[in-house]
Amino acid sequence: MTEVKLVCVSCPVGCELTVVLEGKEVVSVTGNRCPRGEEYARAEAVEPMRVLMTLVRVEDGRDRVVSVKTDRPIPLRLFPQAMDRVRELSVKAPVRIGTVIEKDFLSTDANLVTTRTAH
Ligand code: SF4
């Protein structure tokens, strides 16, 4: 069995959680003050998810890059592969905020969207 310590980020209280794992199975979660903490701990211990925020190259524009993010969290383990894909991408200026750069990014159901306008 392994024990993982986490801080719940689901609300500002920041409960300190302890997750006990048997292999990849969650045996117990303690330290949470509400069910959201257990849900967070189970997800975080087995498959951590994060929103990817990065920059994509802009072609033929005044701006050289535009900020982008996934519109939902994707598995953290995919971040190296995600950055490889992002380096291959570019958009033509102008591009408006909220433009989908790539749908179903890395087959995660998340879209990669611009978070500002670039000219
Ligand atoms: S366990 Fe509940 S109360 Fe504690 S930080 Fe998470 S959401 Fe907030």
Encode pLDDT of 50-63 as tens digits: 999 999 999 999 99
- Regarding pTM above 0.85, the answer is no
CA of 49 from ligand 1 middle (Å) equals 18
Give the span between the Cα atoms of 26 and 20, in whole angstroms: 6
Joined tokens for residue 46 = 């087995």
pLDDT of residue 18: 97
User: Closest Cα to atom 4, ligand 1: which residue?
Assistant: 15
User: Closest Cα to atom 3, ligand 1: which residue?
Assistant: 33
Specify the pairing of strand 53-59 against strand 90-92.
parallel
Is residue 16 in contact with ligand 1, taking CB distance under 6 Å? Answer: no
77-84 long-range contacts (CB < 8 A, ≥24 apart) are: 77/47, 77/48, 78/106, 78/108, 79/50, 79/52, 81/106, 82/52, 82/106, 83/54
**Confidence at 24, pLDDT banded by 50, 70, 90:** confident
Place domain 53-114 in its CATH homologous superfamily: CPE0013-like (3.10.530.10)
Q: What is the pLDDT of residues 83-112, one digit of tens each?
A: 999 999 999 999 999 999 999 999 999 999
Give domain limits for the chain: 2-46, 53-114
